[in-house]
Chain A
Amino acid sequence: MTDIINANPTILNASDLPTRQSQSRKKQSSAAHIADRISRLPPSRTLLYDPFAGAAGEDSAYDSGTDDDNEDEGTAEDIDEQEIYDLISTISDPEHPLSLGELAVINLPHIHVTHGTPTPENPTPMSHVLVEITPTINHCSLATVIGLGVRVRLEQALPPRFRIDVKIREGTHQSTDQVNKQLNDKERVAAACENDTLMGVLSNMLATCK
């Protein structure tokens, strides 16, 4: 990427970005922080534990922890917008050494999470996350790559009950519909994920998430 498309993006200060991390969290050692990250990001589908699969109270192993342990982990809570934000705001921009959060491509108010209500017929209802991304400039040709990065990141990190929609925020890009259609076509996304060049770009973008 020799030609920088947007040479002068607006950058947010990292300390101004939305977080629920309290003062005590900031004091955590980096090792604890990494451990926390790892616990949030199961490396593969087989290790994914879905805390909503059973009725509350059945998960004794998870309930036995102290309140302090559960405070930030949210194992007994639904995954919310902030958690989605934490997963994707740290993705690197493909052309700037900055995160999507810092560039305000990913914004907390533009993430929407909804959870289905478990019923006896359907004890594991689906959850839905909609992420609207704001490209730095309205003809940004990298919007598709950024959107794909967000989708791949969420597909890897979220439990399979999540249905993921990634869209370009209305009015922020000149070919919104076209990009949206491509980003939400599972066959196109699956084929893109078998493209080595593209996956090379994506893995660089996602490297800062780990």
Chain B
Amino acid sequence: MSAKLVGSFPPQPDRVWCAVPHPRLPLVATASTDRIVRIYSLPDFSLISNIEGGHRRSIRSVAWKPNTKGESVLATASFDSTTGIWHKLDGAADSRTNNSEEGAPLNSEEREEDEEWRFAVVLDGHDSEVKSVAWSAGGSFLATCSRDKTVWIWEEMEGDNYETVAVLQEHSQDVKIVAWHPEEELLASASYDDTIRLYREDADDWICCAVLAGHGSTVWDVSFENAGSQSRLASASDDQTVKIWHRKPKVQQEVMPRQPSIIKQADDQLEDWEEQSCLPKAHSRTIYSIDWSKRTGLIATASGDGQIVVYREEELIEHGDANEGTSSKRKEWRVIAQVTSAHGVYEINSVAWCSKWSTQGARMDEELLISAGDDGVVNVFELTI
């Protein structure tokens, strides 16, 4: 298999930190050093909007809120230590590829209004750069993390108000990324302290329910599998490895009668996660980004070595002793595609899976890979056999 470049969005003047596809529409949002969020149309590679003026420093990451109806909501995390929430009513501009032939843009004023992004709220609280922002699967919680070593969880209240429901100070260093489980209200964070931590709500408090240690350097990114309660977690690190972690089934423990109920409660929430496998080594520099396809189960990684690598978990049947006729099934991750110099000589900061869209604006079965690099370019790749 190979991954073929199918197109690029108009280049930006500076480093693009990440490019994230919209959950429902053929759009991609980028976070950039030049403090502008750009919204691109995926089918025709055009720039639709620039969202400016909300941040005083680099925008490090963006996240689309899931399950919104009739409007799009975007969260932006910035080095200026704030997180922004932006709203826009879904309008004609998002599906303009439907009638791009007719062209006939609305009169410019109407159109401008149509495309306007409203800066709804700024979330203050972190002491230094906000590195990552993520919405929970249902969209009710927002998580942010920062160089100030904390992870914050926010809950949306009525009227553009967000309430801080937790400030988690478990990491001993800079927190690089936050990511939510695809179904459960389980949050993962990864850090410069080389660990990954998982959190869930226990009564009224959010607690750290697992520590995943094993990487030899900064963990830059994590991504959950889309497999319900069986979902595993993949992590990418400066130690140039990718690890897969899984939750061990709970062992029913005997209830100790003397234990105070408050401790017992916390114990119930603890989870046992362990390293299941390490993906075949393919990168020679820091791995900055990883994305586990929600649809195909493929994993893609992007690195400072300029490569994008795609991995697939394959089932192997091992024949044991011929006399006994035993055979066992084993799963193994294999590299199935590798793009060298995916952004020329530049480093790649993010990679994400995304649906392919027809030029008529219909979602197709195939998936694309979207990558963002230090060259200011956002590339789109397609896997071909």
Binding site for B on A (CB under 8 A): 121-122, 124, 126, 159-161, 163, 181, 185-188, 190-191, 194
State whether B192 touches A191 (Cβ < 8 A): no
CB neighbours (8 Å) of A161 from chain B are 345
State whether B57 touches A194 (Cβ < 8 A): yes
Interface size on B (CB < 8 Å)? 29
Determine whether B140 belongs to the interface, using a CB cutoff of 8 Å to chain A. no
In the bound complex, CA of A159 to CA of B375 (Å):
12
State whether A163 touches B131 (Cβ < 8 A): no
Q: Contacts A122-B341, A124-B345 given: A191-B58 contact, CB under 8 Å?
A: yes
In the bound complex, CA of A18 to CA of B293 (Å):
53
State whether B285 touches A191 (Cβ < 8 A): no
State whether B375 touches A160 (Cβ < 8 A): yes
Binding site for A on B (CB under 8 A): 15, 33, 57-58, 60, 79, 128-129, 131, 147, 174, 176, 192, 217-218, 238, 285-286, 304-306, 340-341, 344-347, 374-375
In the bound complex, CA of A124 to CA of B192 (Å):
31
CB neighbours (8 Å) of A187 from chain B are 60, 129, 131, 176
State whether A194 touches B58 (Cβ < 8 A): yes
9 A-B pairs within 8 Å (CB atoms) are namely A160-B374, A181-B192, A181-B217, A185-B174, A185-B238, A187-B60, A187-B131, A188-B147, A188-B174
CB neighbours (8 Å) of A122 from chain B are 340-341
State whether B218 touches A186 (Cβ < 8 A): no
CB neighbours (8 Å) of B304 from chain A are 163, 186
Q: Contacts A185-B192, A194-B57 given: A163-B79 contact, CB under 8 Å?
A: no
In the bound complex, CA of A190 to CA of B174 (Å):
14
In the bound complex, CA of A190 to CA of B344 (Å):
21
Closest to A159 in B: B345
CB neighbours (8 Å) of A191 from chain B are 57-58, 79, 128-129, 147
- Taking the closest CB of chain A, its distance from the CB of B114, in whole angstroms, is 33
CB neighbours (8 Å) of B238 from chain A are 185
- Taking the closest CB of chain B, its distance from the CB of A165, in whole angstroms, is 10
- Taking the closest CB of chain A, its distance from the CB of B82, in whole angstroms, is 14
Most interface-central of B58, B305, B375 (chain A CB within 10 A) = B58
In the bound complex, CA of A161 to CA of B306 (Å):
10
In the bound complex, CA of A90 to CA of B301 (Å):
39
The answer, among A124, A159, A185, A194, for a CB contact under 8 Å with B79, is: A194
In the bound complex, CA of A124 to CA of B33 (Å):
25
- Taking the closest CB of chain A, its distance from the CB of B12, in whole angstroms, is 13
In the bound complex, CA of A194 to CA of B346 (Å):
21
Closest to A119 in B: B340
In the bound complex, CA of A149 to CA of B317 (Å):
55
The answer, among A121, A181, A185, A190, for a CB contact under 8 Å with B340, is: A121
State whether A124 touches B344 (Cβ < 8 A): yes
In the bound complex, CA of A187 to CA of B285 (Å):
15
Most interface-central of B147, B238, B306, B374 (chain A CB within 10 A) = B306
CB neighbours (8 Å) of A185 from chain B are 174, 192, 218, 238
State whether B58 touches A190 (Cβ < 8 A): yes
In the bound complex, CA of A121 to CA of B286 (Å):
22
Task: Give 6 closest A-B pairs by Cβ, nearest first.
Answer: A161-B345, A194-B57, A191-B129, A191-B79, A160-B345, A122-B340
CB neighbours (8 Å) of B58 from chain A are 190-191, 194
- Taking the closest CB of chain B, its distance from the CB of A122, in whole angstroms, is 5
CB neighbours (8 Å) of B129 from chain A are 187, 191
Given contacts A160-B374, A185-B192, A191-B58, 20 further A-B contacts (CB under 8 A): A122-B340, A124-B345, A126-B305, A126-B306, A126-B345, A159-B345, A160-B344, A161-B345, A163-B304, A181-B192, A181-B217, A181-B218, A185-B174, A185-B238, A186-B347, A187-B129, A188-B147, A190-B15, A190-B33, A191-B128
In the bound complex, CA of A198 to CA of B217 (Å):
26
CB neighbours (8 Å) of A124 from chain B are 341, 344-345
CB neighbours (8 Å) of B340 from chain A are 121-122
In the bound complex, CA of A73 to CA of B375 (Å):
27
Closest to A194 in B: B57
In the bound complex, CA of A126 to CA of B344 (Å):
9
- Taking the closest CB of chain B, its distance from the CB of A186, in whole angstroms, is 7
CB neighbours (8 Å) of B176 from chain A are 187
- Taking the closest CB of chain A, its distance from the CB of B44, in whole angstroms, is 27
